[in-house]
Amino acid sequence: MTRQQRQTLDELLRHGPLDIGGDVVEQRAVFHEMIASIPLPADVSLTPDQLGGVPVLTVETPGSDPSTVLLYFHGGAYAIGSAADGAGLAADVARRVGARAVSVEYRLAPEHPFPAAVDDAVAAYRALLDQGVPSDRIAFVGESAGGGLVVAALVAAKDAGLPQPASAAVFSPWTDLTLSGGSLVGKAAVDPSLTAAGLRTRAGDYLGATDPAVPTASPLFADLTGLPPLLVQVGSHEILLDDATRLAARAAEHDVRVDLQVWPQVPHVFQSFAAMLDEADAALDAAAAFVRAQWAGAAAEQATAEQATAEQAEQGSELQSQGAPS
């Protein structure tokens, strides 16, 4: 973990072509070109599909367990990015976890404003459940706006009476579209990629006339009670630092198991740069370990419950035998 790696990445992002608040059509193309300049590893396969009418890409790496699923939500401030653009990071997480990932092509603003993205996220999750994938074999993962969408979708799923997945991991989540976090100003000088003005533009595209404090738009203000174990990772050199730390505090307030990891002197969604940044590699390993641990815990609980049920049935059979006439 070298200072030189961090400085190199900082310079790369500061002088990059992406303007998060720029013309949405132009910036979608710019973002896609940036992502496409780093090809996927040859052993990653992408398969187009649909879940609940929502286009998705199934992302698989060698040795992945098809019974476990990462439901993945890409970033891009709700207006930029795609399931394919998110596939690289999704594949990196999936490889370390040993699961298949499903990258969701949720609808983007301004063409499809709130709550389109949340509706698509819940529809995809509901379809996975309807296919017979147990909720305790699913984990939600998301970056930036996709991280906020993870939490919003969990809240919406809870409100819809759906079971929660085993866990959720979010990288640099955008959780407060009221833009009230102090780090929007306090970290502006050290954030090489995001600006408050750019986020304000994209929030307007996404929200339209909707109150930005609506819980499924800004899940920082939601009732998080009953959500699954949550991992929050964020860099200290980003204006969304407070969105992450306040989310963790909110989750803790509502009795959610939450792990907050603040990685020093790294930028927004630094996990995308594992090929050049040691901190990113370590963070992804930590995220994978978290997801696997929750699946292991859920499996152990299921085994214990099945054993208890079997023992009760056996005891019932013995009582019936003892009570039968001779």
Domain containing 281 — which CATH number?
3.40.50.1820
Residue 56 bridge partners (DSSP): 49, 104
Residues recognised as catalytic = 144, 238, 268
- For residue range 42-98, list pLDDT tens digits in order: 999 999 999 999 999 999 999 999 899 999 999 999 999 999 999 999 999 999 999
Alpha-carbon distance values, 43 to 61, 88, 96, 101, 247 (Å): 6, 12, 14, 14, 36
pLDDT value of residue 290: 98
User: Residue 55's CB: how many other CB atoms inside 10 A?
Assistant: 17
- On whether the CB atoms of residues 206 and 113 are closer than 8 A, the answer is yes
- For residue range 153-200, list pLDDT tens digits in order: 999 999 999 999 999 999 999 999 999 999 999 999 999 999 999 999
- For residue range 244-274, list pLDDT tens digits in order: 999 999 999 999 999 999 999 999 999 999 9
- For residue range 124-162, list pLDDT tens digits in order: 999 999 999 999 999 999 999 999 999 999 999 999 999
- For residue range 281-294, list pLDDT tens digits in order: 999 999 999 999 99
Share of the chain above pLDDT 90, in %: 88
DSSP states along 247-301:
HHHHHHHTT--EEEEEETT--TTGGGGTTT-HHHHHHHHHHHHHHHHHHHHHHHH
Alpha-carbon distance values, 293 to 16, 60, 255, 289 (Å): 37, 21, 19, 6
Q: Is 305 or 53 the better-scoring residue by pLDDT?
A: 53
How many domains does the chain fold into?
Answer: 1
pLDDT value of residue 218: 98
- On whether the CB atoms of residues 81 and 109 are closer than 8 A, the answer is no
Write out the residue range of the structural domain in which residue 262 sits.
3-323
Instruction: Output the average pLDDT for the chain.
Output: 94
